[in-house]
Amino acid sequence: MLAGDKATRWAALRDQVLNDPVCQEHVRPGKKVVFGVGSIDAKIMFVGEAPGADEEVQGEPFVGAAGQLLTKMINGMALKREDVYIGNIMNWRPEMGSPTAGPQYGNRPPTPQEMAYCLPYLKAQIEVVNPALLVALGSTAAQGLLGAGTFRTLGEVRGNWHEFAGRPLMITYHPSYILRNPTNRSKRMIWEDLLKVMERASLPISEKQRGFFLGK
C-alpha cells in the first residue's frame, strides 16, 4: 500500500507505472507508457482497454477520435473531462510485430496475459482515486474486469450493473462503436447506460438530457 495523502500516492503510483521495466520493454522507440488522467477525487471512473496510436504519443488515455467522442459524452452528462477519471487496463499499446520495427499500423486487442500484468496497476488507481462507480468501455475492457469468457457478446452484459474491486460497474459500448455506427440508435444505447450511471451517482438529470438521441 502506497503511503501519504491521495495526491502523493497517485504521483508515486504514476511514477512506478511509467518506469515499470515490463511496460517500458513493450513501448516502441519514441512512444510513451500511458497512465490514467483526471480528477483523483472523481466519483466516476471510465475504463478502456489499451492505448492506441494517439495515446502512446501523448501518454494519455482517450485522446484520439474515440477519446474526443468520450469527452463529448462526458460533457453531455453536464461534467467536464477533468471532473472524472479515465484509465485503461493496459499501460502500453499492444504491439503488432516487433516493438523495434518501424511505425505500427492498426491495433489489436490485448491478450489475457497482457491484461493480467497491467490489471493490478488499474486496481491500484481505483484504490487511490476511490470512485463511487466504474464504467467499462467496450467488450475487451469488460472481459478484462469481469474475467475472460464471462460473456460471448457485449449485449449480454451491457447496460446492467456488475461489480469490480468492490464498486458498482456499468458496462457500455466503446466510443469507437459510435464512430463505426453513427446513428441515433447506437448513440441512444450508450446514452441510456450513461443515464443509469448519472442516476447511480446522484447527478441531476434534465428532461433535455433524458431525451438525447431519441429522434430519428
Q: Give residue 96's pLDDT band: very low, low, confident or very high (50, 70, 90).
A: confident
**Is the residue at 190 inside a domain?**
yes
Q: What is the mean pLDDT of residues 122-128?
A: 98
Q: What is the mean pLDDT of residues 71-90?
A: 98
Q: With a cut of 80, say whether residue 99 has pLDDT above it.
A: no
Q: Give residue 104's pLDDT band: very low, low, confident or very high (50, 70, 90).
A: confident
What's the pLDDT at 186? 94
**Is the residue at 156 inside a domain?**
yes
**Least confident piece of the model among 77-91, 100-114, 198-212:** 100-114
Q: What is the mean pLDDT of residues 4-14?
A: 96
Give the DSSP letter string of 17-72. Answer: HHT-HHHHHHSPTT------EE-TT-SEEEEES---HHHHHHTSSS-SHHHHHHHH
Question: What is the domain-level CATH number for residue 70?
Answer: 3.40.470.10
User: Over pLDDT 90: what percentage of the chain?
Assistant: 87
Q: Give residue 95's pLDDT band: very low, low, confident or very high (50, 70, 90).
A: confident
What's the pLDDT at 148? 82
**Is the residue at 101 inside a domain?**
no
What's the pLDDT at 98? 58
Three cell numbers at 51?
Answer: 492505448
What's the pLDDT at 4? 87
On whether the CB atoms of residues 136 and 169 are closer than 8 A, the answer is: yes
Q: With a cut of 70, say whether residue 100 has pLDDT above it.
A: no
**Any residues with CB less than 8 A from the CB of 142 and at least 6 apart, and which?**
136, 150, 151, 154, 157, 158, 171
Q: What gap in Å lies between CA 108 and CA 111, rounded to an integer?
A: 9
**Is the residue at 74 inside a domain?**
yes
- Each residue of 128-171: pLDDT tens digit? 999 999 999 999 999 999 998 899 999 999 999 999 999 999 99
The total number of structural domains that make up the chain: 1
What's the pLDDT at 108? 86
Q: Give residue 216's pLDDT band: very low, low, confident or very high (50, 70, 90).
A: low
**Is the residue at 18 inside a domain?**
no
Three cell numbers at 128?
Answer: 487511490
**Is the residue at 137 inside a domain?**
yes
Side chain identity at residue 27, one-letter code:
V
Q: What is the mean pLDDT of residues 92-101?
A: 73
Q: What is the mean pLDDT of residues 116-128?
A: 97
The mean predicted confidence, pLDDT, of the chain is: 93
What's the pLDDT at 215? 73
Q: Which domain holds residue 187?
A: 31-92+108-210
Three-state DSSP at 120 gives helix
Three-state DSSP at 198 gives helix
**Is the residue at 69 inside a domain?**
yes
**Is the residue at 45 inside a domain?**
yes
Q: What gap in Å lies between CA 57 and CA 9, rounded to an integer?
A: 25
